[in-house]
Structure 1
Amino acid sequence: MVVQSSFSIEDDKYDDDGSIKRTGTWVTASAHIVTAVIGSGVLSLAWAVAQLGWIAGTVTLVLFSLITLLTSILMTNCYRYPDSIYGSRNPTYMKMVENILGGIQYKFCGLAQYTNLVGCTIGYTLTASISIVAIKKSNCFHKYGHEADCNTANYPYTAIFGIFQIFLSQIPDFHELSWLSIVAAVMSFGYASIGIGLSIAKIAEGGHHLETGLTGVVVGVDVTSSNKIWNTFQALGNIAFAYAFSMVFVEIQDTLKSNPPENQTMKKATVTGISITTLFYALCGLLGYAAFGNNAPGNFLTGFGFYEPFWLVDIGNLFIIIHLIGAYQVFAQPVFSAVESWGSKRWPQSKFMTKEYNARIPLVGTWRMNMLRVIWRTMYVIITTLIAIIFPFFNSIVGLLGAVTFFPLTVYFPIEMYLTQAKVVKYSSTWIGMKLLNGFCLIVSLVAAVGSIQGIVSELETYTPFK
């Protein structure tokens, strides 16, 4: 099926769907993927491996990587439908599900995607503030000693991060964020490398025996039997969250130019991005566990297993902050776009909704200002910041986000769309294999969600906001 359009693919200004010509390549797409995948998830991997142990921890890291790679490759062919090269474009995840699966699945996808996009921006706000506090603590420990009381409240720094995001959120659309993603991807390499380097240095130091094991933390020594179960479930969610980027996958593919075909470019970018992140994840998780043993902190760059060199710990946390500034925008932009598109279609004559004003900013250029965009995006950032202040539970929040993200968006919808797009015969070996994978991942997500919710409930019992 070839789409007929008044716009030619060869047109200098427009693509075949009438949109301004896309210019993305596999390099920019890989940068977007690395930015989206390597986020706050990498920081909890040493803790997650400690809960699972050497065998289950390693297997789980590799398994989640392979599942994410498989389902992502399946989804690249669904960007155009019904033909994967000449069909109509599906510029968003929801549009893809609507066109291929339709009906109630489209609504369920929208609920899952936007809930998780919002959740990730909350998680990134929380993690960035933790890293800001970690820099302050690191300097305090260096100056006054490791036994000093260097406790600092997170919420003022959470607010500072939110204020910065208010200004950054005024970037009009996702296609203008390539530079931000590339900077953020470099930062992610930086802090993951620092964490790996510090772990290797700590292992090389020796000095005292660190308890590690094939099955992780020991019942009766490190944790109670019930805590072992809950933490194991939560660890699965933490690892699942580490690979969460499906909710922006289609939006990333929609930035690619048409030649070569988008699905070919995106497959290359997906293999590149996931291979790079899996290598870093294995190094961070396994070396972090070797460095800290069963006492691995929930966040291995802010849990202060590392005190010295303090300046390197500071640089690592600064890289995290810069990375999360970019990652917040990668995940927030689809939410911004959805509300603004709905508003302009609902009230097309409203100047508040549709009119843009050009404002010249010295040294920056011309800023396209729209009143809906200014007010809506500002309110969104304020609300997500407040939620991050009220619920600052890193591992439990990360585990819950991973649990509710992984199954529907990374596994279920990509598989169902593939089965429809490829017209896979019902009850064939491929169909049965895909359905079994669906069932397995559903069970993993459910137990991870239960473990994370239990963690949040137990932490709420002792937590007082704004202290």
Structure 2
Amino acid sequence: MEVSPDNDQGHPSSAGSSDCYDDDGRIKRTGTVWTATAHIVTAVIGSGVLSLSWAIAQLGWIIGPTVMLLFSFVTYYTAALLADCYRSGDPLFGNRNRSYTDAVRAFLGGGKVKLCGFIQYANLFGVAIGYTIASSISMTAIERSNCFHEHGHSDPCRTNSNPYMIIFGVVQIFLSQIPGFDEIWWLSIVAAVMSFTYSTIGLALGIVQVVENKRFKGNLTGIRVGDVTEMQKAWRILQAFGDIAFAYSFSIILVEIQDTIKSPPPSEAVVMKKASMLSICATTLFYMLCGTMGYGAFGDEAPGNLLTGFGFYNPFWLLDIANAAIVVHLVGAYQVFCQPLFSFIEKWTAKTWPEAAFFSKEIALGSYKLSLFRLLWRSVFVVATTIISMLLPFFNDVVGLLGAVGFWPLTVYFPVEMYIAQKKIPSWSTRWVCLQLLSLACCVISVAAAIGSIAGILTDLKVYRPFRPNY
């Protein structure tokens, strides 16, 4: 999975900065704290927010919100460590590490680069599948909501999600031709607005339901043994950890987002830390409100997806707006997460076959430059994620597994190890021990959450009928 460094090494520092180029000779970056915040919010507030009320239902009123706060703290802390690893050497003018794997190469090297690359890009592939599933569920929810409104709640209103996955895939084939992160800033802003739109609607509906109930449902320890077996309770608790971890996963694209921030001063790390703080504070507030109000509204019966599980039926038009906003958001989030993977493959092929025009030649179509390789490979990628999504459309279980698999290595382990190497923290010093204990604790949580999610997927497979209506 290793590619040659695509950082500042190999670009003459004597190029000097200008109106069009940075001091490293590359095209001038224009990102700000607000565009970086928009990218992060687009990545963080995704479909994961919709499963939080279910996650809290498994954990209860005390442990649920506490776990959410702990995940938010760990995510911000390790994001700050990772932000410091963007430049090697001088924080203002040191060599830029333009991707996550470049940063790992600069500070850790060796086999850890290949390991990081494999985990990162496999996780991005999985996120693309998860977002395809989530978007189709929201589109089917719109169809079912209208059906319930017309025929009543007793009608099963079964729908097939496959056509909607295909529609989502076709849209992504077109959007995937956008060359890189710098060109999708507008899509991130639109997606961020949509994420706050549907989160706010979910929150409002939860508040209205609580008022209608005249009390907060739920209990201190979550769903009771008796309503589920002891084994089911254990699996669900583990899966809930994975769902919460997924809701906070953005570290896998943090370095790529940081690479869009304009040249210092201030340093990109300072700007990125501010953007991370703003976005994580905003998302945690939304997560806490949406998760707790959803649990308060439905208690132990909180649906796996707050807006598509039909705890709410009315007003049906508001649910339609919320689910449409989810789809628009996921269209943008898919691109935010997939751009690093697209970039990796295209740089690797260009390096491996430098003489092959197919991998580097671009055709000018007005102001747009079409690459035949980009058109082919990105289209194949979208088709592959769409087909896999049609085979495994299990929202909660897939979300939990993705969160579990990606959280520890990418959000905690590599940032901690790179920070230790960068700051030359002595082994067995107090700070070194504390960082290692944090990493170990997160590792245990990730493994346990993965086991719970796999158990959930195996249970779902027993009753799932592929390519047939299951909703």
Q: TM-score, normalised by structure 1?
A: 0.96
Q: Which amino acid aligns with 2:13?
A: S
Aligned match of 2:292: 286
Q: Which amino acid aligns with 1:112?
A: I
Aligned match of 1:369: 370
Q: Distance in 2 between matches of 1:83 and 1:410?
A: 24
Which of 52, 64, 74 is residue 59 of structure 2 equivalent to?
A: 52
Does structure 1 residue 171 correspond to structure 2 residue 174?
Answer: no
Task: Say whether the 8 Å CA contact 2:132–2:386 is kept in structure 1.
Answer: yes
Per-residue CA deviations over 1:8-47 (Å, capped at 9, x if unaligned) read: 1x32211122210000000000000000001010010000
Aligned match of 1:183: 190
Per-residue CA deviations over 1:331-363 (Å, capped at 9, x if unaligned) read: 111111111111111222222111110124xxx
**1:20-169 matched pairs, under 5 angstroms:** 20-169=27-176
Task: Say whether the 8 Å CA contact 2:217–2:295 is kept in structure 1.
Answer: no
Q: Distance in 1 between matches of 2:22 and 2:300?
A: 54
**1:136-285 matched pairs, under 5 angstroms:** 136-206=143-213, 211-220=217-226, 222-259=227-264, 260-285=266-291
Q: Distance in 1 between matches of 2:14 and 2:77?
A: 36
Q: Distance in 2 between matches of 1:330 and 1:47?
A: 26
Per-residue CA deviations over 1:163-203 (Å, capped at 9, x if unaligned) read: 11001111111110100000000000000000000000000
Aligned match of 1:432: 433
Q: Distance in 2 between matches of 1:459 and 1:7?
A: 58
Task: Say whether the 8 Å CA contact 1:17–1:89 is kept in structure 2.
Answer: no
Aligned match of 2:15: 7
Per-residue CA deviations over 1:352-377 (Å, capped at 9, x if unaligned) read: 111110124xxxxx321011000000
Q: Give the deviation of 1:325 after TM superposition.
A: 0.2
Per-residue CA deviations over 1:242-292 (Å, capped at 9, x if unaligned) read: 000011000000000113211111111010011110000001111110011
Aligned match of 2:406: 405
Q: Distance in 2 between matches of 1:382 and 1:288?
A: 35
Q: Which amino acid aligns with 1:385?
A: T
Q: Distance in 1 between matches of 2:233 and 2:389?
A: 27
SS state of the match for residue 223, structure 1? coil
SS state of the match for residue 6, structure 1? helix
Per-residue CA deviations over 1:409-461 (Å, capped at 9, x if unaligned) read: 00000011111111112211111100000110000000000000000011111
Does structure 1 residue 386 correspond to structure 2 residue 387?
Answer: yes
Per-residue CA deviations over 1:44-92 (Å, capped at 9, x if unaligned) read: 0000000000111011000000000000011111100123222100000
Q: Which amino acid aligns with 1:465?
A: P
Q: Distance in 2 between matches of 1:16 and 1:110?
A: 28
Q: Distance in 2 between matches of 1:164 and 1:104?
A: 37
Q: Distance in 2 between matches of 1:396 and 1:323?
A: 21
Task: Say whether the 8 Å CA contact 1:127–1:394 is kept in structure 2.
Answer: yes
Aligned match of 2:459: 458
Q: Distance in 2 between matches of 1:321 and 1:419?
A: 40
Q: Distance in 2 between matches of 1:429 and 1:408?
A: 22
- State, as a whole percentage, how many aligned pairs show the same letter: 55
Q: Distance in 2 between matches of 1:86 and 1:348?
A: 29
Q: Which amino acid aligns with 2:314?
A: E
Task: Say whether the 8 Å CA contact 1:53–1:215 is kept in structure 2.
Answer: yes
SS state of the match for residue 297, structure 1? coil
Q: Give the deviation of 1:387 after TM superposition.
A: 0.5
Per-residue CA deviations over 1:388-412 (Å, capped at 9, x if unaligned) read: 0000011100000000010000000
Aligned match of 1:442: 443
Q: Give the deviation of 1:117 after TM superposition.
A: 0.5
Q: Which amino acid aligns with 1:136?
A: E
Does structure 1 residue 396 correspond to structure 2 residue 386?
Answer: no
Per-residue CA deviations over 1:78-137 (Å, capped at 9, x if unaligned) read: 100123222100000000001100001111100110011110011000000000000001
Q: Which amino acid aligns with 2:288?
A: A
Q: Give the deviation of 1:210 after TM superposition.
A: 6.8
Q: TM-score, normalised by structure 2?
A: 0.96
Aligned match of 1:363: none
Seen in structure 2, the aligned counterparts of structure 1 residues 351 and 292 have a Cα distance that, compared at 3 Å, is: same
Aligned match of 2:5: none
Q: Which amino acid aligns with 1:235?
A: A
Q: Which amino acid aligns with 1:394?
A: F
SS state of the match for residue 369, structure 1? strand
**After the TM superposition, which of the residue ranges 16-25 and 236-245 deviates more from structure 2?**
16-25
Task: Say whether the 8 Å CA contact 2:217–2:297 is kept in structure 1.
Answer: no
Q: Distance in 1 between matches of 2:307 and 2:268?
A: 37
Q: Distance in 2 between matches of 1:267 and 1:64?
A: 17
Aligned match of 2:322: 316
SS state of the match for residue 171, structure 2? helix
Does structure 1 residue 348 correspond to structure 2 residue 370?
Answer: no
* Structure 1 moving runs of 4+ over 6 Å: none
Q: Which amino acid aligns with 2:91?
A: S
**After the TM superposition, which of the residue ranges 283-292 and 13-22 deviates more from structure 2?**
13-22
SS state of the match for residue 24, structure 1? coil
Per-residue CA deviations over 1:199-252 (Å, capped at 9, x if unaligned) read: 000001117x775111100001x2111100000000000000000001100000
Question: Any unmatched runs of 5+ in structure 1?
Answer: 361-365
Q: Distance in 1 between matches of 2:394 and 2:88?
A: 41
Q: Distance in 1 between matches of 2:145 and 2:361?
A: 48
Aligned length: 458
